[in-house]
Structure 1
């Protein structure tokens, strides 16, 4: 059977996706380094904690929500702990699990940095698009996500504050 290569349009789209997937995080990381001295990965951890009841999550849940391995999350949380933005605690529920808890200083960082971060997301991803293109992009990405995770077991549902 002959190999089915991407056609010209698919190849352009694929390469554009690869470039966007590299450049958007780089732009967001630069904004967060400039404004708060933290990486985008660290900010996502802070944001996920800020959205949680009691501003705390089990480390395993946080790793999934922040799209980080357990090992990488542990290093990220350690750096945030060193800055006083997060602390770790044993779970009161079962005494076995570890929780990451957003401190008041961490909450202050999220509140201070979030508006600039949202502006950076908007500038990087949405400002170049018309409203129609933005809607089409969202619809197309939702279709791809549905194909990749039809039973919703791999993804974490994000609310309206996901840009934070």
Structure 2
């Protein structure tokens, strides 16, 4: 009888550890947002002289009603941003906050200078161990919704 109970216990422990491993192996984090900044003439601000550079931009995540500068030195893109070249031009790729500040929403501040910043608000669906952005607002204007296309849009700056 003891052997049967030990065998059942070992099976349960193995099954539970396998389930945990499966959750870890199947985590989906799909949060990046691509933004093309253009001036009034339609010129891409990442492609013109005296335009924008990723080095001059700082990202802040809203956590507990406070803006915290994002920097993770161990990542490929420690500032949470980088410029990516596409057929349509240069885009700023942002990894927004996944910290929920209200209901299912997170907020990320994009600071261009001490006097110029914008707010990216994202609706995040969190199920199991997955995090997926389903809507994006830029300065309170809805710019992207799930299933429209790639998570990218243009901003007149």
**TM-score (norm: length of structure 1):** 0.29
Q: Which has the higher helix share?
A: 1
Q: Which protein is richer in strand relative to its size?
A: 2
TM-score, length of structure 2 as denominator length: 0.30
Give the number of the structure with larger relative contact order, counting CA–CA contacts within 8 Å between residues 6 or more apart.
Answer: 2
